Amino acid sequence: MTVRVQTAPFDLSAEVANLTGGRTDIGAIVTFTGTVRDTSHGQKLASMTLEHYPGMTEAELTRVEADANVRWPLQASLIIHRVGTLLPGEGIVLVVTASPHRQAAFDAASFLMDYLKTRAPFWKKELALDGSGDWVDARESDDVALARWETSTST
Amino acid sequence: MTVRVQTAPFDLSAEVANLTGGRTDIGAIVTFTGTVRDTSHGQKLASMTLEHYPGMTEAELTRVEADANVRWPLQASLIIHRVGTLLPGEGIVLVVTASPHRQAAFDAASFLMDYLKTRAPFWKKELALDGSGDWVDARESDDVALARWETSTST
Amino acid sequence: MKVTLLYFAWVREKIGRAREEVELPATLKTVADLIAWLRARGPKYDNAFARPEVIRSAINQTHVKQSAPLTGAREIAFFPPVTGG
Amino acid sequence: MKVTLLYFAWVREKIGRAREEVELPATLKTVADLIAWLRARGPKYDNAFARPEVIRSAINQTHVKQSAPLTGAREIAFFPPVTGG
């Protein structure tokens, strides 16, 4: 289990190799990369700036990752989230899950993303090509995505 | 849409960069890597050999990928499947999906794996450390995994 | 009770500062009480908290509802719904 | 009708060959008929197809059921359930 908040870009192969390299007991590795899109609500973007709440961010990501590890038999997991100013096409977030079973790896990665999007204290501000800047609104669909995991919560 | 059957290893970052590099309209990239596990039914494995049906393999993988592209708004997709003799820890299969939306990327990658496992003509033979060799049995759970996509088939 | 208040994203921009130390009156029991008290401090605060239902809060780096008691709070943060990932 | 037969995995190993060209009698209508005809060719074939329900088949590189007609077949393949991925 690893959680990192960083301004630097991440390299997919290097991160996966760090996490799983040399291990021969893993069967399935899923990665999710979220990237900056060049368009938002029909406007062309120049860049996106991510602000976060240092301390709480790491605490929330660690909680979310621990929760995933309780729900699924993960052999390794990683969350990297970038902050600062990013250009269209750049990676914002990387989630990696490794498990003996493919469905566990898929579900855990999807769960991590859903939780991260609604719990981890990051905020995006978009800078449009025309110079206007706007904070991104939270999407209701993210809360809906989160709700589907509640039904399978064991208490 | 790309499909490849090869004996050589694949590199995750290089394949993702080939597929999505330079593009700024993508929001989500999911990769699935299936790897050779060192144990099967309690026996330690020396290696795994993959046989396939040249021609039909490529045709089936192409059909499966086209099917995923109809079901989800994919901006790019890739299936690489290795054949020949592989060692524990090595990658067998790589699936990559890219979409504006994360759930589409997750679902399409999961769908591609489920279909690939039950449709593409590959067969695995395991060589145990003790020298015994056995063809891997198909798992009923793979058919069950496949069935969940049928309910959402539009006709 | 002396606490650190933190503001993020447009809450920070509207208030015009990222953090401050304040001495909370003992009459404030919940996060909602604190929001009402902050709004009375001036137009920037009043504007930032004009729609309290869209404000999220955390006490000591843990998400809390506005009905949460302030007991034990050392660090209280206010921010819009999160948009990471 | 002249067709190419292909065998994979343990079907190939049990029969002892990967491919062969055969002239099919016109009396064979379906894949199941072909399997029955092959089994009569010798003990290796009979052994390979001893449990026809576990044998999968393809005509011209497309999966078919054993009830499928042989009409138009140029290449017919027999193999165990697939285990890729």
**DSSP output for A10-66:** --HHHHHHHHHTT--S--EEEEEEEE--SEETTEEEEEEEEEE-TTHHHHHHHHHHH
| pLDDT for residue A150 is more than 90 | no
| pLDDT for residue A155 is more than 50 | no
CB D72 within 8 A of CB D1: no
What is the distance in angstroms between the Cα of D61 and the nearest Cα belonging to chain B? 5
Task: For residues C17-32, give the mean pLDDT.
Answer: 97
- Asked if B138 and D83 come within 8 Å (Cβ–Cβ), the reply is yes
Q: What is the DSSP string of D36-73?
A: HHHHTT-HHHHHHTSSGGG-EEEETTEEE-TTSB-TT-
Residues 6+ apart with CB under 8 A from C83: A117, A122, A123, A124, A135, A136, A137, A138
| pLDDT for residue B155 is more than 70 | no
Q: Evaluate whether chains D and C are touching (3 or more beta carbon pairs less than 8 Å apart).
A: no
Cβ-nearest to A123 among C61, C63, C79: C79
Taking only the tens place, the pLDDT of each residue in A47-76 is: 999 999 999 999 999 999 999 999 999 999
Residues 6+ apart with CB under 8 A from B104: B28, B72, B73, B74, B97
Task: Inform me whether the C-beta atom of residue B10 falls under 8 Å from chain D C-beta atoms.
Answer: no
Written as six digits, the tokens of B73 are 């708004």
CB A126 within 8 A of CB A44: no
Burial of residue C37 (number of CB atoms within 10 Å: 0-12, 13-18, 19+): middle
Alpha-carbon distances of A62 from A2, A19, A82, C80, rounded to whole Å = 8, 16, 15, 21
Residue B77, SS3?
A: strand
Taking only the tens place, the pLDDT of each residue in D27-49 is: 999 999 999 999 999 999 999 99
- Nearest-Cα residue of chain C relative to residue A115: C85
- Asked if C83 and A121 come within 8 Å (Cβ–Cβ), the reply is no
The pLDDT score that the predictor gives to residue A153 is 43
| pLDDT for residue A154 is more than 50 | no
| pLDDT for residue B153 is more than 50 | no
Written as six digits, the tokens of B94 are 């790589």
What is the distance of C-alpha B27 from the center of its chain?
22
Rounded CA separation C2/A33 (Å): 42
The pLDDT score that the predictor gives to residue B151 is 58
Q: Evaluate whether chains C and A are touching (3 or more beta carbon pairs less than 8 Å apart).
A: yes
Model confidence at A151, in pLDDT bands (50, 70, 90)?
low
Q: Evaluate whether chains B and D are touching (3 or more beta carbon pairs less than 8 Å apart).
A: yes
The pLDDT score that the predictor gives to residue C81 is 96
| pLDDT for residue A26 is more than 80 | yes
Written as six digits, the tokens of A53 are 């709440």
Candidates D7, D13, D76, D82: best to mutate against B (most CBs of B within 10 A) is D82
The pLDDT score that the predictor gives to residue B19 is 95
Task: For residues A40-51, give the mean pLDDT.
Answer: 94
Taking only the tens place, the pLDDT of each residue in B37-78 is: 999 988 999 999 999 999 999 999 999 999 999 999 999 999
- Asked if D82 and B136 come within 8 Å (Cβ–Cβ), the reply is no
- Asked if A55 and C61 come within 8 Å (Cβ–Cβ), the reply is yes
Which residues of chain D register pLDDT less than 70?
none
Tokens 């039904």 sit at which residue? A151
CA torsion sign, A113 to A2 to B114 to A150? negative
**pTM score of the predicted model:** 0.93
> Pairing mode, if any, of strands D19-23 and D2-7?
antiparallel
The pLDDT score that the predictor gives to residue C75 is 98
- Asked if C83 and A51 come within 8 Å (Cβ–Cβ), the reply is no
What is the distance in angstroms between the Cα of B106 and the nearest Cα belonging to chain A? 7
Task: For residues C66-85, give the mean pLDDT.
Answer: 97
Tally C-beta pairs within 8 A across A and B.
Answer: 99
Mean pLDDT of chain A: 93
| pLDDT for residue B152 is more than 80 | no
Q: What is the 3-state secondary structure (H, E, C) of A129-143?
A: CCCCEEECCCCHHHH
Tokens 């970052």 sit at which residue? B13
Candidates A36, A48, A56, A60: best to mutate against C (most CBs of C within 10 A) is A56
Alpha-carbon distances of A72 from A75, A77, A101, B35, D46, rounded to whole Å = 9, 11, 10, 18, 45
B142/A82: higher pLDDT: A82
Closest residue by Cα to residue A63 from A112, A8, A21: A112
Burial of residue B123 (number of CB atoms within 10 Å: 0-12, 13-18, 19+): buried
What part of A 13-32 touches B (C-beta under 8 Å)?
Answer: 13-14, 16, 20, 22-32
CB A82 within 8 A of CB A93: yes
- Percent of chain D residues past pLDDT 90, beyond the cut: 99
Residue ranges of alpha helices (H) inside B35-139 are 56-71, 102-119
- Asked if C77 and A92 come within 8 Å (Cβ–Cβ), the reply is no
Closest residue by Cα to residue A35 from B99, B18, B106: B99
How many helices (H) and strands (E) are present in chain A, helices listed first?
4, 9
